[in-house]
């Protein structure tokens, strides 16, 4: 007795068509997932480059504040707001501006939007993304605190800035490591590039 006499040929053909169709769909989905994760990596790498610029400028401000407390040379700080979103950190000696530089915003749009898709598509990348996302949120807190403390009343500023600068530098170092890890996972390269916008 042959198996074709037990199972009609149409059933066998339908089974093979079904299996072939499922395999083609699987390859199609896998290919789409690869393209999607490649696009996500490009977006995340760009956001790391943007945040590196913010990190450098913020570290410069916090280091300057820390050095001022150690030297006690009469330097004061001010925040200048230009338009709705541009912040300039100024180092002042009396009425004279000694130095100034921007305090760019932090960037988390791409990171936040890609968390769910990355969790589904790439477990390792998701772990790196989650760490970097949290670190950039901490960097945002440091930036906001620097602005708030510099703009606050004199006694509050004196009480908080010295201790805060130590904490802030530690947080910024952690943020840098998290961004480097994510960038390397996205590009296979070290985070040497910065992006201003």
Number of Cβ within 10 Å of residue 71's Cβ equals: 9
For the whole prediction, is pTM greater than 0.85? no
Buried b (16+ CB within 10 A) or exposed e, 18-41: eeeeeeeeeeeeeeeeeebbeebb
Residue segments in the chain with a per-residue pLDDT below the cut of 70 = 1-7, 11-17, 19, 22, 24, 27-28, 30-33, 69-73, 153-161
Output DSSP code: residue 193.
-
Say if residue 92 is exposed, middle or buried (CB neighbours under 10 Å; 0-12, 13-18, 19+).
middle
pLDDT of residue 28: 66
pLDDT tens, position by position, 57-87 = 999 999 988 887 666 567 788 889 988 789 9
Q: How far apart are CA 53 and CA 67, in angstroms?
A: 21
pLDDT of residue 1: 46
Which DSSP string do the residues of 104-172 spell out, in sequence order? Answer: PPP--HHHHHHHHHHHHH-HHHHHHHHHHHHHHHHHHHHHHHHHHHHHS-HHHHHHHHHHHHHHHHHHH
pLDDT tens, position by position, 9-22 = 776 666 666 767 76
């Amino acid at each position: 007795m042959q198996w074709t006499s037990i199972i009609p040929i149409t059933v066998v053909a339908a089974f093979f068509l079904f299996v072939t169709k499922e395999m083609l769909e699987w390859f199609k989905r896998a290919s789409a997932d690869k393209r999607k994760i490649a696009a996500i990596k490009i977006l995340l790498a760009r956001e790391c480059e943007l945040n590196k610029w913010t990190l450098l400028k913020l570290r410069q401000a916090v280091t300057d504040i820390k050095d001022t407390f150690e030297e006690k040379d009469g330097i004061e700080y001010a925040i200048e707001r230009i338009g709705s979103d541009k912040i300039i950190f100024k180092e002042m000696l009396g009425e004279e501006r000694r130095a100034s530089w921007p305090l760019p915003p932090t960037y988390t749009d791409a990171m936040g939007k890609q968390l769910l898709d990355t969790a589904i598509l790439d477990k390792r990348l998701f772990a790196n993304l989650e760490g970097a996302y949290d670190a950039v949120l901490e960097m945002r807190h440091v930036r906001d605190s620097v602005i708030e403390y510099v703009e606050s009343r004199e006694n509050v500023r004196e009480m908080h800035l010295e201790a805060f600068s130590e904490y802030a530098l530690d947080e910024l170092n952690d943020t840098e490591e998290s961004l480097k890890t994510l960038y390397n996972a996205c590009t296979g390269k070290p985070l040497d590039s910065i992006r201003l916008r």
